[in-house]
Amino acid sequence: MSGVLIAVVVLVVLVVAVAIWWIATRNGIIASRNRVDESWSGIDVQLKRRHDLVPNLVETVKGYATHESKVFENVTKARSEAMSSQGVEQTAKAEGQLDRAMAELKAVAENYPDLKATENFQQLSANLTQLEDEIQASRRIYNSNVQSYNTTIQQFPTSVIANQGGFGDREFFELDDVSERQAPSVSFGS
């Protein structure tokens, strides 16, 4: 009987070990997914800050360049679309459009030396530059977390648990146009 008892104990220990591994692995996948979600919220916060800054910048430029209404409309429309975008792909596309509209606004501002010299404009420009850096840093953190999460759920044997739990790949936050991968130059100062 002692041999049967040993076999049962070994079997129970193996089942418990597999159960502990399964629970730990599933919890690890959930923790990784939560890091992705948390890092996306970091991007979202930075984008909201940028969206809040854009109207102030537009109003400042409007005071000097009243005949540039098309540029202001483009920036306002792009900001609105960026604010209402949802999901990584739609947000990346909308933010790319906002970047292009902001580049147009920068080109307009370059034609008005008095505007570039105002303290308000310089402060808004500095804030925008800082926000662009923070967005870029947040995007790097997010993409790093996505890479780690996707690798975890794609590798065997954790892929078995991920498939059972309905864990799917997450999208990277990337700009469509390769030239847009560079941080836009937003310095309006001299």
pTM given for the model: 0.81
Condensed to tens digits (0 to 9), the pLDDT of residues 42-52 reads: 999 999 999 99
Task: Give the sign of the dihedral formed by CA 56, CA 104, CA 69, CA 62.
Answer: positive
Instruction: Look at residue 5 and tell me if it is in a domain.
Output: no
Condensed to tens digits (0 to 9), the pLDDT of residues 81-134 reads: 999 999 999 999 999 999 999 999 988 888 888 888 888 888 999 999 999 999
Specify the pLDDT at position 118.
Answer: 87
Report DSSP state, residue 93. H
Instruction: Look at residue 127 and tell me if it is in a domain.
Output: yes
Instruction: Look at residue 174 and tell me if it is in a domain.
Output: yes
Distances (CA, A) of 78 to 45, 91, 137, 147, 149: 18, 11, 22, 29, 31
Instruction: Look at residue 1 and tell me if it is in a domain.
Output: no
Could you give the number of structural domains in the chain? 1
Q: Range of 62's domain?
A: 17-181
Q: How far apart are CA 27 and CA 37, in angstroms?
A: 15
pLDDT for residue 15 is more than 80 = yes
Instruction: Look at residue 83 and tell me if it is in a domain.
Output: yes
CATH no. for residue 161? 1.20.1440.20
Condensed to tens digits (0 to 9), the pLDDT of residues 123-172 reads: 999 999 999 999 999 999 999 999 999 999 999 999 999 999 999 999 99
pLDDT for residue 2 is more than 80 = yes
Instruction: Look at residue 7 and tell me if it is in a domain.
Output: no
